[in-house]
Amino acid sequence: MQDPSEAAKIDDPRKRARVVHNLIDEYQEAVNELSRIRRETIEDLLQSHGMSQTQVADMLGMSRSRVSQLLSAGARPERAFLGTGRLTVAIGAKQETNREDPGHVLSVEAFTAFEILAEAARAVGLDAIHEAVPRPGHVDLNRPNLIVLTNPRLLPFLSQVMGADPHIRYALDDHGWYLVDLTTSTEYHSLRDIGKNSDYGYIGRLPRPDGKGTFLYLAGTHAQGTLGAAHHVAEHLADLYRELKTRRFSTIVECHYDPNDQRKVLSTERVTPLYRHEGT
């Protein structure tokens, strides 16, 4: 981050205003992340190391009431599962052909999935924006705080990136896409294809191609599975962070939706373990 004193030396007030505005955002993100780490560390000292709030206060040179305040305020630790700054949610767009000006649009379910994740992000102090990724699905994965939605049918490159997952893959046969648990050799074909109100979704943290971080990938066999995966993350955010922190992992969830309203998820449950990827 640029030194604020250097920003003050910029002669052009318009340029100085832009630089200062961006610096404030960058420093605020850093403060929020440090606040989260501090709260999580204090909780760790209390829960895992047997310290009392008074002992923590003495160690940090503050009052016990201040320690108590820090534990009930500030950024919640589980926000790190989503990211450390403003989230970008990249969504595979489908081509709409039943109109005079064919364009790329997002399914209602995929956009609802974004809204669910954005609400969960706001609850832990993060903002989120979305971007539509038109065919052929070229999405820039080499950036921080990224979540990608929709399956390899719309984002073909993601099927290659999933090669870094030692446990779960998407596969394609004459009937369409389906998920495979490589550890148990179990195939998960969408029950929606046989008329049931259920679909499968993939949730995983995968490595960026540039090797400089990871991104979250949520993908349903159909749009309902993507929506269900987003529901599962939002409803189990604290538990997922407690078990995984920000390590690489993957799992498959089954989601059940209302037959009269396919945008209404009734329940989700994991059908595979939370597979932790070795070496992460």
Per-residue model confidence as pLDDT tens digits over 15-39? 888 888 888 777 877 777 787 788 8
Q: Do 87 and 64 share a structural domain?
A: no
Average of pLDDT values for 177-189? 97
Max mean pLDDT among 13-27, 52-66, 258-272 falls in: 258-272
Do 264 and 131 share a structural domain?
yes
Task: Look over the chain and give the mean of its residue pLDDT values, rounded to a whole number.
Answer: 89
Res. 265 pLDDT band, cuts 50 70 90? very high
- For residues 99 and 58, membership in a common domain is answered with no
Q: Is the pLDDT of residue 102 over 60?
A: no
* 169 and 56 housed in the same domain: no
Contact 164, 207 (CB under 8 A): yes
Q: Are residues 61 and 95 in the same domain?
A: no
Whole-structure pTM value = 0.79
Where does a domain end: 54, 75, 96?
75
Least confident residue range of 54-58, 220-224, 269-273: 54-58
| Domain identity same for 62 and 86 | no
**Closest alpha carbon to 219 in 138, 125, 156, 142:** 156
Mean pLDDT (whole number) for 79-107: 81
Q: Are residues 236 and 173 in the same domain?
A: yes
Pair (46, 184) in one structural domain = no
Q: What is the model's pLDDT at position 111?
A: 94
Please give the tally of structural domains in the chain.
2
Mean pLDDT, rounded, for 159-176: 94
H/E segment holding residue 30: helix 13-47
Phi, psi (5° rounding) for residue 67?
-60, -45
Tokens 């000006």 -> residue = 101
User: Cα separation of 54 and 2, whole Å?
Assistant: 38
Q: What is the pLDDT of residue 35?
A: 79
